[in-house]
Amino acid sequence: MCKPRLSDEGLWGLPGLPDFLLPSPELSRFQTVGESALGVEPFSYQGEPHMVLAQPFAGRCLILSWDYGLQRFRLEEELSAPSVVSCKPLVLGLRLFVLAARLWGGSQLWARPGPGLRLAPTQALAPKRLLRPNDAELLWLDGQPCFVVADASKAGSTTLLCRDGPGFYPRQSLHAWHRDTDAEALELDGRPHLLLASASQRPVLFHWFGGRFERRTDIPEAEDVYATRHFQASGDVFLCLTRYIGDSLVMRWDGSMFRLLQQLPSRGAHVFQPLLIARDQLAILGSDFAFSQVFHLEPDKGLLEPLQELGPPALVAPRAFAHIAMAGRHFLFAACFKGPTQIYQLHELDLSA
């Protein structure tokens, strides 16, 4: 385990080097969004950054934008989506789409034809295939936008939906009967890949070949993985694998396989989210039982080192983190399942004074 280097003020320094040489990033609370959420997604529409929150108990996808007068995030629009688990945005020119993946009542596609108009439901998405969605991701295949929806039902299969005319329609079923909990789109060796985590086996890596996804390999030493996220640094591709019981894992692609690089204690974790904020590659490990931990990638070591804890108050069952830059400022959204969504602001503290 990495040796902690936390001072009383929550700042970090490198052993053997004077702290005044090291500017230190720190996250401080900025704003609260009252309702709980399962997911949070950033997107840019008409040159303005936005966030969309999936709020299952409120039964909506909540779109937030920046209020330049109040210098805070404000409600822009809400979409009715009972039991929603994921709100995934897609911007195509002047058009805005939002996929609302729902546990009950069927998943829907909402669309805004142009600026100044409101989003409206336009399509029921694969009602006979999407039985119990748990995650939705956007990816581009052969120049066309597609969604992949991970299905966690015993009789379901993860579904790839691609654009065809005015809507999105099933193109391929993947990984049937495995109760998939998470999907992650990534690029390896210049080709699209898809990583699926499930409740029944190790994560499986697919690659795009001949107009469809084909199984390539699975991830060794990675049992009981709930969710997967990736990031790139110094030309390498890394995975953050979330495990609720045991240690969460950091892996690195070696050209043919993901190899174990680091293990981090993570009892009660549902999210291990890498984020590039300003110049800092961070990763946040959420916990249902303790403070969520922020890690910083040390370039010299190629390892994640502890940076700070988020709290008090502690995040209550965090499920997703997302970064948005606005007016030269950097913000972190923390979507919580059993508490309000918290918004943090990143400050880079100058320790040279």
DSSP state of 257: S
d(CA 59, CA 319): 17
Torsion of CA 95, 96, 102, 104, to 10 degrees: -50
**pLDDT, mean of residues 14-27:** 53
pLDDT band at 143 (very low <50, low <70, confident <90, very high): very high
d(CA 131, CA 158): 10
- Contact yes or no for 81/58 (Cβ under 8 A): no
CATH class of 127-218: mainly beta
pLDDT at 24: 64
Domain ranges of the chain: 43-124, 127-218, 221-232+266-352
E strand or H helix that includes residue 235? none
Closest CA to 287 of 301, 273, 304, 302: 273
d(CA 214, CA 164): 22
d(CA 18, CA 82): 53
Q: For the segment 204-258, what is each residue's pLDDT rounded down to a tens digit?
A: 999 999 999 999 999 988 999 999 999 999 999 999 999 998 899 999 999 999 9
pLDDT at 18: 43
Task: Please give the C-alpha separations between residue 7 and each of 12, 14, 306, 312, 338, in angstroms, as whole numbers.
Answer: 6, 12, 12, 16, 30
Residues 6 or more apart whose CB falls under 8 angstroms from that of 75 comprise 62, 63, 64
Q: For the segment 145-154, what is each residue's pLDDT rounded down to a tens digit?
A: 999 999 999 8
The token pair that represents 83 in the structure block:
């039991």
The token pair that represents 89 in the structure block:
């945005």
| Burial class for 309, CB neighbours closer than 10 Å (0-12, 13-18, 19+) | middle
pLDDT band at 99 (very low <50, low <70, confident <90, very high): very high
Task: Please give the C-alpha separations between residue 86 and each of 202, 289, 320, 324, in angstroms, as whole numbers.
Answer: 23, 24, 11, 18
d(CA 129, CA 150): 11
**pLDDT of residue 189 exceeding 50:** yes
One DSSP character per residue, 194-217 reads: EEEEESSSS-EEEEEETTEEEEEE
Amino acid at 41: E
